Structure 1
Amino acid sequence: MKITLIGHNTLLIEAAGARILTDPYFGPRGNPFYMRLSPPARPPEALREVDAVLVSHNHWDHIDRHFFRLLPGQTPIFAPHLTAWETRLYGGRHVVGLRPWQSVSLGEIEIHAVPAVHLVPTVGFVIRAEGLQIYFAGDTFYAPFMKQIGDRFALDVALIPVTTYRPPMTMNEREAVLATRDLAPRLVIPVHLGLDMRLPLLRTGQTPQGYIRRLLEAGLDIPVKLLKEGETWQNQPVTS
């Protein structure tokens, strides 16, 4: 299995012969309030042949209309049930709406929608493939259901957001530590780090490095991998 950070919350997950893209966002500059810190590692045209797309919610930095129009009509897009219709308006054609704890199969891969809480309807996803379980949180605040997710799935990797600006859109350093405690993954990869506020007064100073420090202070010995745009984490097969 490979996980490549394209940028922000857009990741390419390659497993069991399939390629899955999360929360596609390829805008180069952000908007009047948010600035993109670095361009995506690949252009949308290079990823149009993926096998599926996971959409956690309908915010502009997670749902790219131009990319959806590039997708072949048969490519499935899995999105929250309540926003599946909106995803179709954005250009998605084969949209499957999922509620928390519903699941679908993609060849040898299982995709499970899990609870999430945000400003709009949202879900997270757990991907089961090649004997591994990967949690993609999307955008979510910390909530007690994370203990349910951790209890139901023996997570190998958790892709969790850390917010560096206000108003908070996901978890801050402290909340990300609580989520990590409840999820109990073997590895954490922080995501949602590709934007910052244009106004300095709205920047919080929260960083993935601060999250790592708080993890250690909490006595949680869970490895954290910081990926740069274009960098790939790959599971190393166990050798005897």
Structure 2
Amino acid sequence: MNCTYLFHSTFLLEAEHVMLLFDYTGGPLELPDEKKCLLVFASHRHGDHFNEAIFSLAQRQGGPTVFILSSDIATHLVPHHVQVRWMGPYEEISIHDVAVRTLASTDEGVAFVIQAEGRTIYFAGDLNHWHWEGESEAYNQQMKRDYHAQLRLLPTKLDIAFVPVDPRLGPFYSLGAKDLVERVKVKTLIPMHFWKDSSVCANLKAELKDTGVEVLQLTNEIQTWRNL
């Protein structure tokens, strides 16, 4: 699979027969093969993960375009002419030979677990171990329990995992990623949700250097990795 990072939490995965676009909010987007089916995922309603601009993709020429939207997104924002599959937590669908199931986020919406062309892909959205220094100890401990409960529902192996590493969490930015790789065998971990502070990618790679996980090094520019 080829993976293109666009910004923040927006990624395009291109497989042999299908393209998967995650949390696109607008801006430059070049689809490498217009003839392929395009599945457009939106993990939740927050403005850095969902924008009505995604529905312009329904007008593209070529293969079919299907939108897979978290059920917390307002239905009145969706044009009548687009093909939508709504998903809440703990649901499963299969579309164009791609199997999708959801977990519950620790913030808003859902996380996606996807089986596509022999690969297992995890897109966390805002499912994360959000440990905020300004919150109470009780809050942070409950967040830890809630996050670990969702991790127990993941497969034992993930080929590609898109995981938040938010620098606003300060020294706790990597908790979610470290919790994940301690419990699940991850081949390639792709940091996201770092706004414009891509330095956390190098920091995370250093923290996970003894785990055997490949951590992609993202910058603030559009990047493509081939044959993941």
Fold conserved between structures, TM > 0.5: yes
Q: Residue type matched to 1:80 in 2?
A: S
CA contact under 8 A between 1:11 and 1:22: conserved in structure 2? yes
**Tell me, which stretches of 5 or more residues in structure 1 are unaligned?**
27-39, 197-204
Matches within 5 A, 1:225-240: 225-228=216-219, 229-235=221-227
Which whole-Å CA distance do the structure 2 matches of 1:77 and 1:137 have between them?
A: 17
Does the alignment pair 1:191 with 2:192?
A: yes
Name the residue aligned to 2:48: 61
Which whole-Å CA distance do the structure 2 matches of 1:125 and 1:108 have between them?
A: 16
SS at match of 1:232: strand
SS at match of 1:155: strand
CA contact under 8 A between 1:146 and 1:182: conserved in structure 2? no
Does the alignment pair 1:160 with 2:163?
A: yes
TM-superposed deviation, 1:144: 0.9
Matches within 5 A, 1:139-150: 139-142=126-129, 143-150=147-154
Does the alignment pair 1:138 with 2:125?
A: yes
Flag the 1:212–1:24 CA change in 2: closer, same or farther, 3 A. same
SS at match of 2:179: helix
Which whole-Å CA distance do the structure 2 matches of 1:21 and 1:178 have between them?
A: 26
Which whole-Å CA distance do the structure 2 matches of 1:212 and 1:81 have between them?
A: 34
Which whole-Å CA distance do the structure 2 matches of 1:156 and 1:146 have between them?
A: 18
Which whole-Å CA distance do the structure 1 matches of 2:75 and 2:217 have between them?
A: 30
**Tell me, which stretches of 5 or more residues in structure 2 are unaligned?**
130-146
Name the residue aligned to 1:115: 104
Flag the 1:161–1:87 CA change in 2: closer, same or farther, 3 A. farther
TM-superposed deviation, 1:153: 4.9
Name the residue aligned to 2:142: none
CA contact under 8 A between 2:45 and 2:72: conserved in structure 1? no
Which whole-Å CA distance do the structure 2 matches of 1:16 and 1:127 have between them?
A: 15
Q: Structure 1 length normalisation: TM-score? A: 0.72
Name the residue aligned to 2:17: 17
SS at match of 1:165: helix
Higher normalized contact order (CA 8 Å, seq sep 6+, divided by chain length):
1
CA contact under 8 A between 2:90 and 2:101: conserved in structure 1? yes
Which whole-Å CA distance do the structure 2 matches of 1:234 and 1:159 have between them?
A: 16
Name the residue aligned to 1:79: 69
What are the superposed Cα offsets for residues 180-219 of structure 1, whole Å, 9 maximum, x if unpaired? 22232112111123346xxxxxxxx972222223224xx4
Moved more, 126-135 or 94-103: 94-103
Q: How many equivalent pairs are there?
A: 203
TM-superposed deviation, 1:123: 0.7
Which whole-Å CA distance do the structure 2 matches of 1:210 and 1:87 have between them?
A: 39
Flag the 1:18–1:161 CA change in 2: closer, same or farther, 3 A. same
Name the residue aligned to 1:223: 214
Which whole-Å CA distance do the structure 1 matches of 2:72 and 2:191 have between them?
A: 27
What are the superposed Cα offsets for residues 34-71 of structure 1, whole Å, 9 maximum, x if unpaired? xxxxxx5xx25x45x66121111101111122232442
TM-superposed deviation, 1:179: 2.3
Flag the 1:187–1:166 CA change in 2: closer, same or farther, 3 A. closer
Name the residue aligned to 1:129: 116
